[in-house]
Amino acid sequence: MKVRQAIRVADSQPSRRDTRLDKYVEQYAARASGFQVSAVRALFAVANRPEVVSLAGGMPNIADLPQFEIGATISKLIAERGAQAMQYGSGQGEIFIREKIVEVMAAEAICANADDVVITCGSQQGLDLVSRIFCDPGDVVLAEAPSYVGALSIFGANQCEVVHVETDELGIVPDAVRQAVTTLRAAGRKVKFCYTIPTFQNPTGSCQSVQRRQELIAVAQEVDLLVLEDNPYGLLGFDREPLVALRAMDSERVIYLGSFSKTFAPGFRVGWVCAPHAVREKLVLLQEAATLCPPVFSQFAIAEYLENFDWRAQIRAFADMYRERRDAMLQALVEHMPPGTTWTHPSGGFYVWLTLPDGLDSQAMLPRAVSARVAYTPGTAFYADERGCENIRLSFCYPTPARIIEGVKRLGEAIRSEQETHAIFRTERTARPGRHGAVINPAPDIN
Amino acid sequence: MKVRQAIRVADSQPSRRDTRLDKYVEQYAARASGFQVSAVRALFAVANRPEVVSLAGGMPNIADLPQFEIGATISKLIAERGAQAMQYGSGQGEIFIREKIVEVMAAEAICANADDVVITCGSQQGLDLVSRIFCDPGDVVLAEAPSYVGALSIFGANQCEVVHVETDELGIVPDAVRQAVTTLRAAGRKVKFCYTIPTFQNPTGSCQSVQRRQELIAVAQEVDLLVLEDNPYGLLGFDREPLVALRAMDSERVIYLGSFSKTFAPGFRVGWVCAPHAVREKLVLLQEAATLCPPVFSQFAIAEYLENFDWRAQIRAFADMYRERRDAMLQALVEHMPPGTTWTHPSGGFYVWLTLPDGLDSQAMLPRAVSARVAYTPGTAFYADERGCENIRLSFCYPTPARIIEGVKRLGEAIRSEQETHAIFRTERTARPGRHGAVINPAPDIN
């Protein structure tokens, strides 16, 4: 048989005995050496065990979507338009879903044209494409302190240097943006954009007021800085109508990333970039090179959903459900956290940002927490420098209220336990070894 | 209203009057300047008009898929498992579809484990991820002369230099690979891999014999070169069983790209990379950073299709249909091409590679052809250097046999017309201006 002969020939070549674990190690690109496995990877595998309450992840709760009806709608789509829905499509994304997205963005005062919109494989891919278009190795991007780990991952993979900018309870501090840009440029560095999640930020939950947004835009104009606005949670506020997007305040300076992942469902991988014309042209060229086109079937499916279902009512239902979970978490935190623990009080989104009592280290404490059958994401994941070890991000999006309460209770016990250990050994928080290169969290965080 | 106030503030800033067409032109990364709009873009918009027979594109004909039954299957999927199918998934792709892919690859003698497989957004994204993992700016990748335009696009976007290697009727010439590697390395260049489409190559239609494959692998081993094997058409042969894949001959040296786009449908954007362990690890890290995970719903949908339908019979039906179209094209070429025209005779896949009579230029002739209501892709699209102007790629995958015959007839008339013009003016083929940078064909070619 020719196949067997073919394989025998390959086997009979005298092979160089290469005993390296990774024989390609000298062939990788420079950027690949920055892909680091996160120290918490091993723990996340454990954290996903059913007996562990995971307050670590960012998966939306989609159990209440009307699955049967959605199935019927998509069945009809395939039967009637399968030849288009299952075919290659436009590199920019299909016109009908871009038109729907213009309607969706109008809720945040964005006036856009379908032509300004580029569909991506989730807004995560939007982060990738935008940073590839703008950033050379060594260029700087500004990000909030702390910021979304998935953004830090891809900026790092694209060899950008992330410089964190001070935040307060209203989010990024505009004066600090000005200061950072001035200092970096004086040192000869190129600052390509400021990455911000203005509304229900991941991980802090903060929401920029209208005035804060105005101030940020004013500074960006003053220092001629692009702003990359990431907005997956904008419509998931618990107490208010959506705030005006940064994009609505300056459409030439703000590149906007949107997503259906939290307002509908993540598994279709449909997000979008709303960008100024010249940037959009480059995005389309790069998307076509990188994927030919974003998932067509997914775009048809989501367009059918938006057309045939009361998607606004579904978002309100999601917000009610997440509000209940936030309330459960905040109540449980009051009840179970030891003195010296503080936390944020988000008015939307998925996350609470907790600060541990003095002297504790969230990364060092994680094994103890998992042994106590609760998991969280240490604050260090959300910094490109070494900060964050006194913080924890707690997600209330996925577990039920009862599980949230139980998880926070277990967390309280773990913290107290850790405090006792510290008291016994009078352990000072030791300097942790520097982390080099980009950290890519392989149990991917969600934004 | 706060929104109106916010927008007024932005408008009232004294704006620098920037009259450049692209105000970001100084901010883009170096790689972005290589994104060129192809000269044929304007013509493709015209080529898609209904009165034009397009022999230019690479869209598979999926009209005969059992749409109603597939719709019913997917409806059941959503109703029963919507909460998983519409949720975030694994960065490596879902285990059940990777297991199916192992079955699919077995037809080409590949013995793999589900763990060796990484799901991508189409095999196009596999090209992107692999080149990002291996290539620094200025690194060389070898490609067939000619090669798939989408690969040239993304290699260029990732700042690789493509060096074409001689081919003959059996595909890439192994001696030429050895020669290229030796010469390039002697000049201090890094050659990261050899990109090849061994089976029913895009654009030539050639198929490497088993012996040729053995010789290529032997050379790759001799010079220690990675091989990137792209195989979207491997199961679409008209006259034979699938040939042994290069991957089956050396699983440590060959990175394999597979796709469901031609054997099922393209719109789901599900492809895969089958790679050695260390490479696979890096692919997963980069995929997680770039997209979090490939389209989950699409993976569930395709797995359901493979589970519930006779997908092998469907592929045989596709092959029969494409064989009929190939036959129509070859017959029509015999009938309508003027003397001096030659062409390949593919035994599978989608394409015929035609060489024009002496002195004609396929790119220069394209407007005339489109006026004559036939479109094709000029051979220049398939070279990163300036070759290919005497060639045309003709696709027989999408139009009906009758339309193919009509299109070839119109092409024959266009060629004769062009010859007459040349005879009248005794026009010598002039040197065409150099093309700089990467060409990204924005009417994306398909592989």
Q: Which residue of B has its CA nearest to A139?
A: B29
A67 touches chain B (CB under 8 A): yes
Facing residue for B290 by CB, picked from A59, A154, A297: A154
Which residue on chain B is closest to A148 by alpha carbon? B289
Q: What is the pLDDT of residues B177-211, one digit of tens each?
A: 999 999 999 999 999 999 999 999 999 999 999 99
Mean pLDDT of B262-272: 98
* Top-confidence residue, B425 or A257: A257
Q: Are A398 and A61 in contact (CB under 8 A)?
A: yes
In single-letter form, the type of residue at position B429 comes to R
Mean pLDDT of chain B: 91
Which of B35, B252, B295 lies at the smallest CB-CB distance from A286? B35
Which single residue is written with the structure tokens 């390395």?
B185
CB contact under 8 A, A286 and B21: no
pLDDT tens per residue, range A77-116: 999 999 999 999 999 999 999 999 999 999 999 999 999 9
Share of residues in chain B with pLDDT > 70 (%): 89
Q: DSSP letter at A32?
A: G
Interface of A with B in 290-309 (CB under 8 A): 290-298, 300-301
| Alpha carbon distance A239, B25 (integer Å) | 42
Cα dihedral B409→B413→B414→B415 (10° resolution): 100
Phi, psi of A350 (to 5 degrees): -120, -10
Q: For B237-310, where are the alpha helices, taking DSSP H only?
A: 246-249, 277-291, 296-308
3-state secondary structure of A117: strand
User: Is A214–B91 a contact, with Cβ atoms under 8 angstroms apart?
Assistant: no
DSSP reduced 3-state for A259: strand
Task: Please tell me which of the candidates B23, B71, B125 has its beta carbon nearest to residue A75.
Answer: B71
Which residues touch B23 (CB under 8 Å, ≥6 apart)? A252, A276, A278
Phi–psi pair at A165, nearest 5 degrees: -120, 140
Q: Which tens digits make up the pLDDT trace of B74-101? A: 999 999 999 999 999 999 999 999 999 9
Torsion sign across C-alpha atoms B267, B152, A129, B45: negative
Do residues B244 and B109 lie in contact, with contact meaning Cβ atoms separated by under 8 Å?
yes
Beta bridge partners of B256: B229, B274
The residue in chain A having the minimum alpha-carbon distance to the alpha carbon of residue B214 is: A6
d(CA A248, CA A269): 25
Phi/psi-derived region of residue A354, left when phi > 0, alpha when psi is between -120 and 50, beta in every other case: beta
Residue position matching structure tokens 């009637």: A80
| pLDDT at res. A41 | 54
Domains of chain A: residue spans and CATH = 32-64+313-441 (3.90.1150.10), 84-310 (3.40.640.10)
* Burial class of residue B21, CB neighbours in 10 A (0-12, 13-18, 19+): exposed
Taking 50 as the threshold, does the pLDDT of residue B437 lie above it? no
Amino acid, single-letter form, for residue B394: L
In tens, the pLDDT along B374-430 reads 999 999 999 999 899 999 999 999 999 999 999 999 999 999 999 999 898 875 555
User: Phi and psi at residue B399, in whole multiples of 5°?
Assistant: -75, 160
Q: What is the DSSP letter of A433?
A: P
Position B434 scores a pLDDT of: 45
- What are the tokens at A166? 């001070």
Whether the CB-CB separation of A390 and A432 falls below 8 Å is answered with no
- How would residue A430 be classed by pLDDT, with cut points 50, 70 and 90? low
pLDDT at A280 over 50: yes
> Are A271 and A122 within 8 A, CB to CB?
yes
Any idea which of A189-193, A210-214, B56-60 has the lowest mean pLDDT?
A: B56-60
Note the residue count of chain A.
Answer: 447
For chain B, say whether A391 makes contact (Cβ under 8 Å).
no
- Could you tell me if A243 and A231 are in contact, meaning their C-beta atoms sit under 8 angstroms apart? no
Closest CB to A10: pick one of B132, B250, B298.
Answer: B250
Residues 219-238 of A with CB under 8 A from B: 221, 224, 226
- The pLDDT value recorded for residue A427 is 56
Count the helices and strands in chain A (H runs, E runs).
Answer: 14, 17
The yes-or-no verdict on residue A429 having pLDDT over 90 is no
Contact of B85 with A263, CB cutoff 8 Å: no
What CA–CA distance (Å, rounded) separates A142 from A145?
A: 9
Q: Which of A218, A173, A179, A175 is nearest to A196 (CA)?
A: A173
Q: Which helix (H) or strand (E) holds B192?
A: strand B191-196
What's the pLDDT score for residue A46? 72
| Residue B431 dihedral angles phi and psi, to the nearest 5° | -65, 130
Q: Which of B30, B35, B285 sits opposite A285 (nearest CB)?
A: B35
CA distance A93 to A114: 10
Q: What is the pLDDT of residue B12?
A: 43
User: Mean pLDDT, to the nearest integer, of B91-118?
Assistant: 97
Average pLDDT over residues B268-278: 97
- Chain A's closest residue to B35, CA to CA, is A285
CB contact under 8 A, B6 and A248: yes
Q: What is the pLDDT of residue B190?
A: 97
Question: At B412, phi and psi to the nearest 5?
Answer: -60, -40
- For residue B3, the one-letter residue type is V
- In chain A, the residue whose alpha carbon lies closest to the alpha carbon of B285 is A442
The first and second tokens of residue B89, run together, are 């998934």
Whether B10 shows a pLDDT value over 60: the answer reads: no
pLDDT (0 to 100) of residue B41: 54
Q: Does residue B29 register a pLDDT over 80?
A: yes
Helix, strand, coil proportions of chain A in percent (round to 5)? 45, 15, 40
For the segment A407-427, the average pLDDT, to the nearest whole number, is 92
- Distance in Å, alpha carbon of B308 to nearest chain A alpha carbon: 16
* A368-389 exposure pattern, b = at least 16 Cβ within 10 A, e = fewer: ebbebbbbbbbbbbbbbeeebb
Closest chain A CA to residue B131:
A29
pLDDT (average), residues B351-357? 98
Chain B interface mutation, best of A249, A292, A299, highest count of B Cβ atoms under 10 Å: A292
Angstrom CA distances, B429 to A271, B425, B433, stand at 47, 11, 12
Q: What value does the mean pLDDT take over residues A202-222?
A: 98
For residues B72 and A75, give the distance between their C-alpha atoms in angstroms, rounded to a whole number.
6
B241 in contact with A, Cβ within 8 Å: no
Residue A33 binned pLDDT confidence (cut-offs 50, 70, 90): confident
Tell me the pLDDT band of A49, cut-offs 50, 70 and 90.
Answer: confident
**Closest approach of chain A CAs to the CA of B341, in angstroms?**
32
Q: For A319-367, what is each residue's pLDDT tens digit? A: 999 999 999 999 999 999 999 999 999 999 999 999 999 999 999 999 9
CA distance A354 to A410: 15
The reply to whether ipTM tops 0.95 is no
Q: Which of A211, A223, A53 is nearest to A140 (CA)?
A: A223
Mean pLDDT of chain A: 91
Measured CA to CA, the distance from residue A108 to residue A121 in angstroms comes to 22
> Quick one: average pLDDT of A131-156?
96
Query: Is-contact A379 A439, C-beta < 8 A?
Result: no
In A163-192, the residues whose Cβ lies within 8 Å of chain B are: 192
Size of interface A-B (CB pairs under 8 A): 341
pLDDT score of B271:
98
Which of these ranges, A4-8, A278-282, B187-191, has the smallest mean pLDDT? A4-8
Task: Summarize pLDDT for B248-257 with one digit per residue, the tens.
Answer: 999 999 999 9
For residue B76, the chain A residues in CB contact (below 8 A) are: 71
Strand-pair partners of A53? A374
Distances (CA, A) of A280 to A68, A105, A195, B40, B321: 37, 17, 18, 20, 39
Beta bridge partners of A54: A375
Q: Which of B 89-148 lie inside 8 A of A, CB atoms? A: 89, 91, 109, 121-122, 124-125, 128, 132-136, 139
Compute, in degrees rounded to 10, the torsion defined by CA atoms A212, A357, A48, B97.
30
Cα(A397)–Cα(A403) distance, integer angstroms: 11
pLDDT at A425 over 90: no
Give contacts of B 3-32 with A, CB under 8 A: 3, 5-7, 9-10, 13, 15-16, 21-25, 27-32
DSSP string covering B299-344:
HHHHHHHHHHS-HHHHHHHHHHHHHHHHHHHHHHHHHHPPTT-EE-
Using left for φ > 0, alpha for ψ between -120 and 50, and beta otherwise, residue A138 falls in: left
